[in-house]
Amino acid sequence: MTEMLTHAQIWAALDALGERYGLTASALARKAGLDPTTFNRSKRQTANGHLRWPSTESIAKVLQATGATLDEFMMLVASKGAPTGARKPRPLIGLAQAGGGGFFDDAGFATGSGWDEIDFLADADEHSYALEISGDSMAPVYRDGDIVIVSPSAPVRRGDRVVVKTTAGEIMAKELKRQTARTIELKSLNASYPDRILVKDEVSWMARILWASQ
């Protein structure tokens, strides 16, 4: 028998998603461009007991704002909002500093010294690490001081937000627009900056952004 989604499951998943990104219900709504009271517990049920469900549009805006995937959200729905990972230290380094060399191996895994640590609700991927955003080239999705959790071992698909390191040492966060046998096309998160098309020989590695602490 197919199990139906419940009102409690959907709201628990939204609460858990907010917690994962360090956001209260009102902060999550603001980040998604919604009225700050949209996800308040007082609005989840009317005075006469009628259940109010979050709209598909509001959920879509939350996923877009946080960078979470639909798969992530559905996992939280299935687990009824239960945490899917424990808080544990992750290597942390500034994005600008990371381009200096010596911090990653050829596959994009954290290596070497010079890393700090951050205690963060991360997924089960033991190879994930944190990068601190600097500058405005990734605004409004990621702003100066935001921290993104990156996994070099997670599969990368079209539409994913990724961190890319070129063989010249440049590190950037973009959206994967398209990948062919010869090139990688990247869409800029900030419309003021141009999209990039890189020949694969120019790319040292590409790793998926799992989520952000903002």
CATH number given to 7-78: 1.10.260.40
Is 87-213 a CATH 1.10.3720.10 domain? Answer: no
pLDDT tens per residue across span 54-110: 999 999 999 988 888 887 788 788 765 554 455 567 888 998 888 877 899 888 988
Closest C-alpha to 126, from 75, 91, 81? 91
CATH 1.10.260.40 residue ranges for the chain: 7-78
In whole angstroms, give the CA distance from residue 142 to residue 193.
14
Closest C-alpha to 120, from 15, 209, 19? 19
pLDDT tens per residue across span 6-60: 888 899 889 888 877 777 888 889 889 999 889 988 888 888 888 999 999 999 9
pTM for this predicted structure: 0.62
CATH 2.10.109.10 residue ranges for the chain: 87-213
The whole-number pLDDT of residue 16 equals 85
Instruction: Give percent of the chain above pLDDT 90.
Output: 32
Given a cut of 50, is residue 122 above it in pLDDT? no
